[in-house]
Amino acid sequence: MNIDLTGKFALVRGASQGIGRAIAEELGALGATVTLVARDEAKLKDVLKGLSRSKNQAHDYVVLDSSDTKRLESETSAKFGGAKSYHILINNTGGPPAGLASDAKPEEFAAAFSSHLLANQIFTQAVLPSMKNARYGRIINIISTSVKEPIAGLGVSNTIRAAVANWAKTLARELGPHGITVNNLLPGATKTQRLEAIFEGRAKKSGKPIEEVISHSQAEIPMGRFADPSEIAAAVAFLATPAASYITGINLTVDGGRTASL
C-alpha cells in the first residue's frame, strides 16, 4: 500500500492548533512539504518548528484570515495560484459559535457561510490548476458528524456543515475525471480548545458541573473517550495518499462509534 507523500505539496488551513496542527504533522511525517495557513503567526512558527524534515522538504507558512473573503480571494490567488504546485488541500476552519438555530441572527449564518464554504471555494479554485496539471489532487474538508445527525446547540454549525458536505459531493463528481478526489472527514468529539469551549458553554447554561457535562458526553461514545487530534489526522492523511486514489465523494466519520446512523 502506497502511503508515501514524498514530492507532494500540501496546503493545510487552520494549522496553528488542534486538528489542523495534527494533520500538518502527519502529512509532513509521510514526506509531504507542508504550507501552514492560519491567522496567528506566532502559533504557526511554533508548529513549523515541530514538523519533521528531510532534505527534500521545505515547509513554510502563510498568515491569512478566512473570515475576510474579499481580501482572501486576492491574497489566495497571489500566494497559491502561481508557479508552486499543490497536490493536497486541507480545508479546516474553526466552527461557528454554539447556540440555537432559532436564536441565530441572519448575519451569523452569513458569516459562517463566508468563512467556511466561500473560503473553501476560494482556496480550491487557487490550487485546482496545479492539481489538474499533475493529475493528482486530494481535497479534504474537515467538517462534523452533524452532517449525518445535527448536534443540539450548534444550530449555525449544523446548517453550514451540511452546505459544505453537499458542495464537496458536487465537486467530487466534477473533478473525478482529472484524477482529483474530494472527501469530507467528520470528526467526533476531539480533545481541542473548541471542545472545551462547548463544554464550558453547556455547563454554564445547564448549571451543572463541567465534569458532569463531560462525563455525560463520554458516555454517549461506545469507545468511552474523546479522540486525540492525531487519530483524526491519521484518517485524513490516508485520504491524501496514493492508496486512496479510488475513494471520493464520501463522508468519513471518525467518532468512536457515537453517530447512530450509517
pLDDT digits (tens, 9 = 90+) for 139-193: 999 999 999 999 998 999 999 999 999 999 999 999 999 999 999 999 998 988 7
pLDDT in tens, 4-13: 999 999 999 9
Contact of 13 with 92, CB cutoff 8 Å: yes
Task: Identify the helix (H) or strand (E) that includes residue 156.
Answer: helix 155-175
Tens-place pLDDT, residues 186-196: 999 898 877 78
Mean pLDDT of 47-61: 91
Q: What does R_g of the chain's alpha carbons equal in angstroms? A: 18
Integer Cα distance of 86 and 161 in angstroms: 25
pLDDT band of residue 82 (cuts 50, 70, 90) is low
Where do the H-state alpha helices sit in 114-228?
119-134, 155-175, 193-206, 210-219
Q: How far apart are CA 161 and CA 254, in angstroms?
A: 16
Average pLDDT over residues 111-136: 95
Domain residue ranges in the chain:
9-189+228-254, 192-226
More confident residue, 68 or 244: 244
CATH architecture of the domain with residue range 9-189+228-254: 3-Layer(aba) Sandwich (3.40)
Summarize pLDDT for 238-250 with one digit per residue, the tens.
999 999 999 999 9
